[in-house]
Chains A and B, each alone.
Chain A
Amino acid sequence: MKSLNIQSMAKCVTARAVRLWIFGLAVAGAITTLPAATPAAAHGERSQQAFLRMRTLNWYDVKWSKTELNVNDEMELTGKVHVFSGWPQAVAKPGESFLNVGEPGPVLIRKSAYVGEVPVPRTFSMDVGKDYEYKIVLKARRQGRYHVHVQINVKDGGPIVGPGQWITIKGDMKDFTNPVTLLEGSTIDLETYGITWTYIYHFFWMAAAAAWILYWFMTKGIIVRYWQVKAGKGAELIGQDEKRIGAITLAAVLLAVVVFYAAANKEFPRTLPMQAGLLTGISPIDEPRSTVAVQFKGGSYTVPGRELRIRVKVANNGKEPVRLGEFTSAGLRFLNPEVFTTRPDFPDYLLADRGLSVSDPNPIAPGETRDLEVIVQDARFDIERLSDLAYDTDSQFGGLLFFFSPSGERQKAEVGGPVIPRFQAGAAL
C-alpha cells in the first residue's frame, strides 16, 4: 500500500495545491489536521507481530484477475483463507469479521463481496479450523499504481492483511461513475449523489451564523462591551430592541428548520433506517478430508541464517504417492523447486520459489508414514519480518503445507507449534 509514490504525490500536490490553499486557512488547517484520520499511509502487514500473521489466517490461492485497468473497469480479487486451528489466545476469535481491501484510500471501490455464496457487505462470522472462499469485485476509480491487498478485519483482533499486488489504473478519476439503481427504480450516480445539496445546506447555515456573529460584533464590538459590563451596565447592552431582534431571528431559524425538514420528507417519502447485523452461518469450503496427516515434532529458527527448520511426521493415507511442494504462512509462499518446475504467477515479494527443501526428497508412498525435516530458507522470511517470531510472547509458528501427487492433486495440512530461536549461525536443530 506504499503506493503514494513521489511522482504521483507531486502531481497531485501541484494540481490541487491552489484549490486547497484557497479553501484552507493555513493555520486552521494545521490545527484541524491533527486529529484527522490518515488512512492507508503505512504498509501495515509487516508491522504486525509475526505469530499473529502466521497463526490467524492462512491465505492461499489468492488471485487478482487483472493488474492493469482503466478507470471504470472491474476486476476480481479472489482466494481462500484457512482459519488456523491454533488461533492465538491473545487475539479475539473471528466471530465478527469483515472482508476488506487494503489499499491507499478508495482508489478501487468495492462493488460486491462474497464469502462462499453469501454477499458480505456486513460483518460475518467464521469458525476456527475451517476454510473459506472469498470474492471481491473491485472497480477502478483513481489513476495510479497501487498495492492492493485482501484483508480481513477481526473484531478485537485488528486487521489481518493478506498478500498484495501492484495494480495500475489508467485514465482519470473525473470520468469515474458509480451508478446505483434505487429500490423505487431510478438510477443515480453515487459518486456525486447529493453532494451539491449537502454543500448548499451546510453553507447556508454557516453563512447565517457568520451574519449573526458579525451583526453583534459590529455593534459595539468586544472591548467596549467588556468595559460596559465591568462598569455594571451590562443590562443596558441587551434591551428590548435587542431581544426583539433575537426573537425574530429565532423565529426565522425555526421556520427554516421546519421548512427544510418538511421538504426533505416530501421529496423522499420512503426512507429506511440503516441496515446492520451480523451474518452468521456462512458455509466453509466443502472439500474432502485431506489424505495427508502431519504431526509437528519440533523446530528451530536460526536468526542469522533466516532459516526455519521443522521436524514433522507425515502420514500418507491416500492412494497416490505425495511430495511436499509448498509451505505458506502470512501470505508468503515457499516453494520446493523439485515440485514446482515452473514459477507460478504471484507477487514476487511474497514468492520464494526456491525457499523450501526437504530432508528426504523421495515421494511418500500410499500408506507410508515418514519423519521429515523441512527447511524454509529465504531472505523474504526476514524482509517480511517473520523472523521477529523469536521476539514474540507466543513464539509459535504456523502455516499450511501443500503436498502434491503425480496426478496433480493437492493435499493441504496445517502445521504449527513452538520453535526455539538459535542466535548463532551453525547451531544444530
Chain B
Amino acid sequence: MSASTETGSPAGKTWKSKEEFLGCVILTDWILLVILFAVLLGSFHIHYMLLAGDWDFWIDFKDRRMWPTVAPIVAMCFAAASQSFFWTRFRLPIGATTVVLALLVGEWINRYDNFWGWTFFPINLVFPSALIPMGFWLDIVLMISGSWLITAVVGGLGWGLLFYPINWPVLAQYHQAAEIDGVLLTLADLIGFNYVRTGTPEYIRMVERGTLRTFGKDVVPVAAFFSGFISMLVYFLWWNMGKWFSTTKYLEIEEV
C-alpha cells in the first residue's frame, strides 16, 4: 500500500518517524477492513436469511418467478447502503462487491458447516444464490458514472436482470428431467423430495405463483425486469439509509 504524502497530516508530534506513522495507518486500515467485513457479513446474512430465506436455502425453491424477483430486491438493500458508505466517504468502488462477497462467505460457512456438516443435506440441495457479478456491475456503474442517481436507475435495473443468468450456469444441470414412479420431476424437485426436510413441507414452495402470465413461457424476463425496477426504488431508499448511518457523529472524537 502506498499512503501518499499529499494529505499533509501531522506526522511530527506523536510519531517518531513518517514510516512509523504510515505503518500505523496501514495497520489501522487492515483492522478496519476486517471489522467492516465481519460486521457486513453478520448483518447482511441475518437480513438476507430473514427476507430471502428458503428461496436461498433450497434448490427446489429456486423457481423462475418468485426467486429471481425476491432475491435481488432484498440483496439490493445492503449493496446500496454499503456503496453509499464506501463511495461518499472513501471514493472506493467496492461497496457492492464487498457486501455480496461477505454475504456469500457467510452463507457458504453456514451451508457447509450447518446444513452439510451437522445435518448432512447435500450441497446440491443447499448452495446459495450467486450474486458476485451483480456486485461488480453496481460498483463499476457507480465508479464510471460517479452518480448515485444513474447507479440507481442503470445499476438497479442491471442488478435485477443479471440475477438469473448468473445463476443459470449452476442451476441448469438441476433442471434436467427424470421420470420417478411415473411422475415428471426435475432434478431440483427430486433432490428436495429425496432428502427429507422434516420442517419444510412441499406446499411452502411458491413455484411460479403469481398473476403476471401474459408472456407465456418467458417467465424469467418478466420477473427480472420487475425485480430490476423494484431494485431501483430500493436503491434510492437504502443509499440514503447508508448515508444516514455512515457518520462519526456518534463517536465523540474531534478528529478521526
Contact = CB atoms under 8 A, between A and B. Distances in A.
Size band of the B side of the interface? 35 or more
Given A159-B199, A222-B90, A242 B106 contact: no
Interface string A213-242: 100111111111111110101100110001
B198 A275 contact: no
Contact of A198 (B38, B123, B200, B201): B123
A247 to B, nearest CB: 6
B212 interface: no
B196 A103 contact: yes
Contacts of B135: 209
B173 A39 contact: no
A173 interface: yes
Contacts of A112: 180-181
Given A220-B3, A257-B166, A39 B197 contact: yes
A32 B42 contact: yes
A33 B41 CA distance: 12
Contacts of B202: 98, 121-123, 276
Given A105-B121, A109-B196, A264-B168, A224 B25 contact: yes
A119 B182 contact: yes
Interface stretch (A20-28, A375-383, A401-409): A20-28
A151 interface: yes
Interface residues of A, number: 118
B241 interface: no
A24 B118 CA distance: 13
Contacts of A427: none
B91 interface: yes
A272 interface: yes
B146 A31 contact: no
A32 B41 contact: yes
A268 B90 contact: no
A273 interface: yes
Contact of B136 (A20, A105, A224, A253): A253
B120 A142 contact: yes
Contacts of A182: 176-178, 187
Interface stretch (B27-35, B71-79, B222-230, B231-239): B27-35
Given A178-B194, A202-B108, A106 B7 contact: no
Given A28-B109, A98-B202, A159-B198, 20 more contacts: A23-B113, A29-B113, A36-B114, A100-B196, A106-B120, A106-B196, A109-B194, A112-B181, A181-B179, A192-B124, A195-B124, A198-B124, A198-B127, A213-B101, A217-B92, A220-B4, A238-B91, A264-B169, A264-B172, A274-B60
Interface of B: 1-4, 6-7, 9, 25-26, 28-29, 32-33, 38, 41-42, 45-46, 49-50, 57, 60, 62-64, 88-94, 97-98, 100-101, 104-110, 112-115, 117-124, 127-128, 130, 132-133, 135-137, 139-141, 143-144, 146, 162, 165-166, 168-170, 172-191, 193-205, 207-208, 219, 256
